[in-house]
Amino acid sequence: MTKAGPALRLDGQGRPLWLVCELTYGCPLKCPWCSNPLDLDAYQNELSTEEWKRVMRESRTLGSLQLGFTGGEPLMRRDLEDLVAEADRLGYYTNLITSTVGMSAKRLSRLKAAGLKQIQVSLQSHDAATTNALVGASVHDHKIAMIREIKAQGFPVVLNIPVVRQNIAHTGAYLEMALDLGVDYVEFANVQYYNWALVNRDELMPSLEELKASEEAINSFRQRIGKKMVIYFVIPDYFNGRPKACMNGWGSIIMTIAPDGVALPCQEARLLKGLNFPSVREHSVEWIWKESPAFRTYRGDAWMKEPCRSCSEREKDFGGCRCQAYLLTGDGANPDPACSKSPFHHLVEEAIVEAHRPQRNSRPLVMREVGVASSTQ
């Protein structure tokens, strides 16, 4: 099966090449694999328009080239067009990561005029009933209409499907729909088990047999259509025996700014207790990237424990995911349990067995909603 990790190692030469702007944690959908924090109600003080513009200027000065507007749902910000225009003026390649809820043909035209370059749309299935059930809202038809409108207005489109047990059998039908829509790229994004997805892991995790069948369907489709559409599929690290090369290394090329201004090496990092992540309201982006203890904690390999420290693959996978190590072992410096060399690998193996244990009683998905997840802990 396809191995995890990037085919090409990117070297930012000490620069945050990719700036990820999480404009808001607000979202009209209730996806049970959402990467946003479980305590959503704790983050209400969003950066203002001018604060976001300052962040973009400072990051661009540091060498950032690509900017992703995400959330939550970034379309919930009324100033999105203004922010896109400023990013374009600064010379960023801009990407909007959206569910399309809140989008219209007119607003799309405004975003295009502002300089938006690319749009990534999440779509959970070819089937309306499945999509609507998984996101907790009747939005499938709107998503399809907006994808057609996005293409009609000349944007490159990445169609993202979060792969879970509930939709993995739809792989072939989903690809046929994507081809009909004329999208440029399809990403089968196997859900990573953090935050809301971790709460729902037993219900969401596909089996290895289902993953193999999905990959076979993708390979067959690729052979049939040739270069009409680019399809990405990577087996999740729980089944790979090797950890994902998380973020191309901690604090290496990516900086995420959360809605409240907290700067993070990745979107999940604020779940790491004990690290004091700085805010752009209190520090410059340059200081945060170059000097802050949080960004330097897992940078490079001096922090690694054995067997990572002496592993010949440490420069390929960077020791794996610090957030996953913390969530599953309680220590972010421990070897990622997804790796078969890790002394904690049994935790991943046990999770796979439990998710597919025949006698296990299934339970309803815990949907993303303020105040819900904390009551399940």
| Residue 21 annotated in ligand binding | no
Assigned token pair, 376: 């399940």
Rounded CA separation 18/371 (Å): 32
- DSSP assignment of 288-313: HHHH-HHHHTTSSSTTPPTTTTT-TT
Cβ within 8 Å of residue 46, ≥6 positions away: 23, 24, 259, 260
Q: Which residues contact 281 (CB under 8 A, 6 or more apart)?
A: 47, 51, 261
Rounded CA separation 45/173 (Å):
42
Is 192 exposed, middle or buried, given 0-12, 13-18 or 19+ CB atoms closer than 10 A?
A: buried
Q: What CA–CA distance (Å, rounded) separates 338 from 136?
A: 30
Q: Which amino acid is at 234?
A: V
Instruction: Flag whether 308 is marked binding.
Output: no
CB 20 within 8 A of CB 256: yes
The reply, when asked if residue 27 is annotated as ligand binding, is yes
Residue spans of alpha helices (H) in the chain: 49-62, 80-90, 105-114, 128-135, 140-152, 171-181, 195-199, 201-204, 208-225, 237-240, 285-291, 293-296, 314-317, 322-329, 345-355
**8 A C-beta contact, residue 304 and residue 319:** yes
What distance in Å separates the CA atoms of residue 246 and residue 190, rounded to the nearest whole number? 14
Token pair for 338:
């997804």
Pairing, β 157-163 against β 185-190: parallel
Q: Please state at what angle helix 128-135 crosses helix 140-152, rounded to 10 degrees.
A: 110
Annotated binding site for [4Fe-4S] cluster: 27, 31, 34
Annotated binding site: 27, 31, 34
